[in-house]
Amino acid sequence: MEDQNDDSSTNLIINYLPQTLTDEEFRSLFLSVGPISSSKIVRDKATNYSYGFGFVVYERAQDAQRAIETLSGLQLQNKRIKVAHARPSGDQIKGANLYVRNLPSHWTETELNKLFQPYGKIIQSRILIDLGTGLSRRVGFVLYDTRDEAENAIKCLSGKTPEGCTEPIMIKFADDNTKKIKQQAQVQYVPIPNFAAPGPMRTQPNRFQRFNPMAGNFNGQGPGMVPNQGGYTLFVYNIGFQATDRTLWQLFSPFGTVQKVNIMLDHEKNQCKGYGFVTMTNYQEAQNAINCLNGFFFQGRVLQVSFKNQNQQQPQQQQPQMQPQQQVTLGNQ
C-alpha cells in the first residue's frame, strides 16, 4: 500500500475480534464512523482462520480518533473489542510476547505487571482463567513493546521466585501464533444460557452464544426454523436518548444480516425516545443477538432486547410520516 501520509494517525489495530466475525461485518462496523481506505482481519493464509485481530486505515485522522472513542470496548458476541492506534510495524516489536507458568494462584494482571514492568513497556498482559472453575490456571502472557525488553525480562526473571511466593516462575517466549493453525475451526462453543458454575463470580456472565458451523447453516435457518420472508423484528429498549439508527446498526450487525433499523424519535426534543426496532433476516442470528445483547450493559444502561411480537409493546413498526431518519438497509455495499 502506498498510504504513507501519516499512517500513525490513521492506522488502527483492532484486537479481541470474535472468531466468526466476517470481513464484511468488520468493514461495515468501522465504515459507520467514516470513510476508510483499507480494512483487514488478519487470517491464516491456508485456512482463513482469524487470528482475532485486524487493521483499519481511515482516510482522516479525526475519524480514526473517533473510532477509538466510540468503538473500543464495544461488545461483539463474546468479546469486547479494543481499538487503538497501531504501532509502526518493524522487526523490533516481533517476538516480544512471553509465556509465564507457575504463577501464584491469587495473582491477577496487576501483580503480573508489577513484576514485569521494570524490564520494559508492557503492551498487554493476561492471566488465563479456567472457564469451568473461574480460577487462575497459573499461566499467563506478557507482551512487551520490543523484543529486547522481553529478552531482558527473561534474563532477569527466569527461575526467580517472586517476593512472597514459594515457587520459581517459568518464562519463555510465547509460541509464534501465526505459525499455528487451529484445524478444528472453533466448532464447540455450545450455547449454555445459564451456565451456573459454582465458585467465584465471573466478570461477565457466560451467556454468549456462538454458532456451531457443523450444526446447521450459519447464515440460514437452524433446523426446524420456519423461514420468514419479512425477517424477524426485535424490540430494543433502554438504548438511551442519544441513540441513532447507527447505534442499532453497530450493535446488531455483528450478529448477522440486518434488514433495517428504526430508532423511535421524540420530534419535539429531537432525540431518541429510548427504544427502537431491528429487523434481522435469520431467526438464528436474531436469537443470538437477543442472547448476547439482552441484559448487556451499554453506555450506562442495561439493554432489553426481545422479539417484538412476543411482548406486544408497540403497535406496528409503521414508519411515521415525518420520520426524517433514513433507514439503514443492508445490501451489497
Contact residues toward DNA (CB under 7 A) are 11, 13, 15-16, 38, 40, 42, 51-53, 55, 57, 82, 84, 86-89, 93-94, 96-97, 99, 101, 123-124, 126, 128, 139, 141, 143, 172, 174-175, 177-178, 180, 182
The residue among 94 and 267 lying less far from DNA, judged by its C-beta, is: 94
Minimum CB–partner distance for residue 111 and DNA (Å): 18
The residue among 142 and 263 lying less far from DNA, judged by its C-beta, is: 142
Minimum CB–partner distance for residue 240 and DNA (Å): 27
The residue among 145 and 246 lying less far from DNA, judged by its C-beta, is: 145
The residue among 186 and 294 lying less far from DNA, judged by its C-beta, is: 186
b or e along 53-80 (b: 16 or more beta carbons within 10 Å of the residue's beta carbon)?
bbbbbbeeeebbbebbeebbebbbbbbe
Q: How many CA atoms lie within 13 A of 94 on its CB side?
A: 6
Minimum CB–partner distance for residue 174 and DNA (Å): 4
Closest CA to 212 of 185, 178, 244, 176: 185
Q: How many CA atoms lie within 13 A of 28 on its CB side?
A: 24
Minimum CB–partner distance for residue 39 and DNA (Å): 8
The residue among 11 and 281 lying less far from DNA, judged by its C-beta, is: 11
Minimum CB–partner distance for residue 134 and DNA (Å): 14
Minimum CB–partner distance for residue 80 and DNA (Å): 10
The residue among 126 and 267 lying less far from DNA, judged by its C-beta, is: 126
Block residue for cell numbers 472513542: 69
The residue among 100 and 248 lying less far from DNA, judged by its C-beta, is: 100
Minimum CB–partner distance for residue 329 and DNA (Å): 29
Contacts 24+ apart (CB under 8 A), 260-268: 260/327, 260/328, 260/329, 261/327, 261/328, 262/317, 262/319, 262/325, 262/327, 263/239, 263/325, 265/320, 265/323, 265/325, 267/322
Dihedral in degrees, nearest 10, Cα atoms 257, 260, 265, 271 = 50
Read off φ and ψ for residue 190, nearest 5 degrees.
-75, 135
End-to-end CA distance of the chain: 22
The residue among 64 and 243 lying less far from DNA, judged by its C-beta, is: 64
Minimum CB–partner distance for residue 15 and DNA (Å): 3
Q: How far is CA 97 from CA 60, 77, 144, 161, in A?
A: 31, 26, 6, 21
Minimum CB–partner distance for residue 42 and DNA (Å): 5
Query: At what angle are helices 23-31 and 61-71 packed, to 10 degrees?
Result: 110
Give CA angle at 19 (16, 24), nearest 5°: 95
The residue among 41 and 278 lying less far from DNA, judged by its C-beta, is: 41
